[in-house]
Structure 1
Amino acid sequence: INSISRKGWENVMKRIRETGRDAIFVADTMDGKFAKIFGGLHIYNVCGAFRKLPAMKVGLRFLNYQARYNGVLYAMNIMPGYDDTHIRIPGFSVDRENGKLYEELWKLVLEIDPDIVIITSWNEWHEGSEIEPSVEYGRKFLDLTKKWAELWKNRDRLMIDAEKLKSYFKYQFIPELKLLRASMYVRPDSKRVYIASDNLLACYALKLLGDPLAFILEKELEKHGKGYDEEHEIVVGIKIPDVFYARYNEYIDSIFSEKFGLIEVVYEKPDKSRVINDWEKYADLVVYKALNELTDGNLQEAEACFKHLLEIWDGWGFKDESYSSYYQTYKTGLFVILSNRLKKYGSEVVEKYAYDVEKARQILMSLQTDEGGFTVGYEIKDDGVVPADDVNTETTSIVTIALFE
């Protein structure tokens, strides 16, 4: 690109476009001054440009910024490694680290979400950058490419309908109570209102969606101790006790709703005669513990909980102590919430599990129903996610927080 001046390139591109045979031209440069002359930016050999992974990350983020600032495409370059020392003197090499370099660059793809990903390359054996099957690595780099590329490409396929999501919450609203019903179809929850945790979490979720219904719920919750139950308020940033208890439902009232008929109002509360000592066996309680540690500024303790959570995660969901016939959606949602909060606190641990977090996020996005909410559970069949059970307010609220916070 430096073979002619910037003005020269302007003239070249002008002449091409005047022919009527236009295309998008992507410039191999980090110089933002060329961005608008062409239609995009990239660099062909990220290993050659930066040599070390930390520098690669800085450079690729900078190039993304240049492209976004100038309103052009960004074609991000990733590589498995590089070694031309046997064909050039002196040459240089960047170690593959048995796939670590490649996966770290794919994680950056998920973070940056470029318009295009260019893999350099699939057949440059003499420069040690091939991803084809080899004696040293077998199919490793092809398999890694499939794994990460599918995850990245699924982002375009899975989109949340925010308006439909708001409609779900509005449909569940009971004007006589100024609170939300628990579930759509299955009794007893389709005839029940939970002050905690449903309406507590829905209030926060609706704020994230920018819906004024949140403030109607909030005003009503003020009459009921804000909806706190010494457990679920940690999801909205309120510290809870360090001890977990079994739960019970306290009956509050029954009313007749014009929309849903007879409705029972209950308040989930802790039974302090029954302590849960093995809380680490339950994915949701591990998340609550981690979030509680974060409110106290204990990042290392929260990270330890996150790592323990990954020991229960099987790649699709949590088969913890309470697992029955399907994965519980809200636990996968809590996993994503915790990862989001840890990143905001500056934790570097989450990046190590970027694939799992993104997969969990995509599982959640695949569970939105025609009603707008999210299903209570899901199963895995033929490596695909199949929604299971009813649509309810607690699950929908947690997933909303996970995806919109």
Structure 2
Amino acid sequence: MMGLRTLKPSDGFSDLAPGLELMPLAADRMDRRSVSSDVLASSAHGNAVANTKIVYANSDSDGSIYYDIHIFYYVWYGNPRVDGKYVHWDHVLVPHWDPKIAASYPKGRHIPPEDIGSSFYPELGPYSSRDPAVLESHMEQLRAAAAGVLVLSWYPPGVADDNGEPTEDLVPAILDSANRRNIKSMVRLSPENKGERRTLQDRDPSRYGKHGAFYRYKSSTGKNLPLFYIYDSYLTPPESWANLLSSSGSHSIRNTPYDGVFIALIVEEKHKHDILSGGFDGMYTYFASNGFSFGSSHQNWKAIKTFCDVNNLMFIPSVGPGYIDTSIRPWNNHNTRNRVNGKYYETSLQAALMVRPEIVTITSFNEWHEGTQIEKALPKKTQTRMYLDYLPHKPELYLELTRKWAEQFNKEKEQWLIPHLEPVPVIQYIRHNGPLDIKSESDMAMQYVTKRMEKVDVHCLIDNRLEDLVCNLDVCDRILADLKKLASIFQAFNDLLGIAISSVSVCGECVDLSDSSYEVSRWTVRARRLMKLLERSV
């Protein structure tokens, strides 16, 4: 939640995002942890490996989910039926830090179920995060929204936020429920303010790493590393972070079992330099109130992204459907951002896509206190409260908008690669009886083309032993059919990408493509020439 005592809103911002520049950006760089851009299947041990640059979708009966859409998720709610008392729904009214201002506002706490610490009212009522039915409903809503990764606000065993109860024991149930829907889960860590410093081993959440739903990000070095968002990272000096996160740090965790991809929170402009010197792998913005801070201001995202590109860091913008926390901070109405029937959310999403990030984070699925939730809400009126709602739209409005923009994000990301692909000097056809695979001197092109062709079923291996292919008309016919299929694929890639495929190596025979378009008829000629080559080799 917002550190409102130390942060002040920026001036000059409206409730909607400022004008967005439409000029194309320079080529994206890889982050300095060399995180690659392909999506891999789960490993043999069941560890979820879900990267986010080429293919993001995991199809199920309700459509695709996208592992480059990360959404912040809270499990701190409780009610008497499940927990014996209300937790968080009875949130205290936070006093202003200036006693003179605080005196002008009400004190006390909310009294559920009619009066809860939120300006909206959940469709599920003031629920318990421990209720299995609630958890199942949440996972269904996440899947409907196409959000592939939930980011759990995590505390070690026995530790909780100032208004809650420990919830670490809920993690296995969350992972199990997410896994049933192909949703991945990861954690957001918060610096401890409890006095005692725990060791990394004590608070290491990656012990869940063998679970099928545990999110990992694959580096180009082949390491499948957990990704962590660090909240309020700026409260710890960058020198202290560097001791842990730089490879030369005195207590470096790099290349140890505790290594990962660590994403810091950028609030003020100076934090980007602290994040760099602290050894982090990237930065995110979290706050859903445009203009509240330097990091959360849409107009600054292009500059932040440029800084990250130059320094090989990831930039992960955070977007939200709106912001209103006056139910718990009644003095903070100047930071309210009205939803405008979804327009604020769509403007924020558009602003995020304009800087071409690898990942977009959503604040939030269910942070009801700050009014950033996309979870279903209902109209509600009591004797003392009139709650906000999503009317005239349905309760699932923001789930539907999230899916719409997740799909748009992934369509655009394929196009973003087009200007930045290097020429492909050689492609080799190398896969036996299954999906087509390629090798190329260009890693980025190889990843893109491989993923685009992964569903193309090519039945025969052309670089097999020649004697296995000769005098087998069936095989020759299939070679010809496959070459025709490849021709149409290469033609499509040439039209779409403008990449130069100069040659294809088949059975050791390099087929020169530099002097022709990729027409099926020309491939037919080459296929026949290949067959003659096979015959002569006997």
- Indicate the TM-score class for this superposition, using the shorter chain for normalisation: 0.3 to 0.5
Structure 2 length-normalised TM: 0.29
Choose between structure 1 and 2: higher strand proportion: 1
TM-score by length of 1: 0.38
Greater relative CO, 1 or 2 (CA 8 Å, sep 6+)? 2
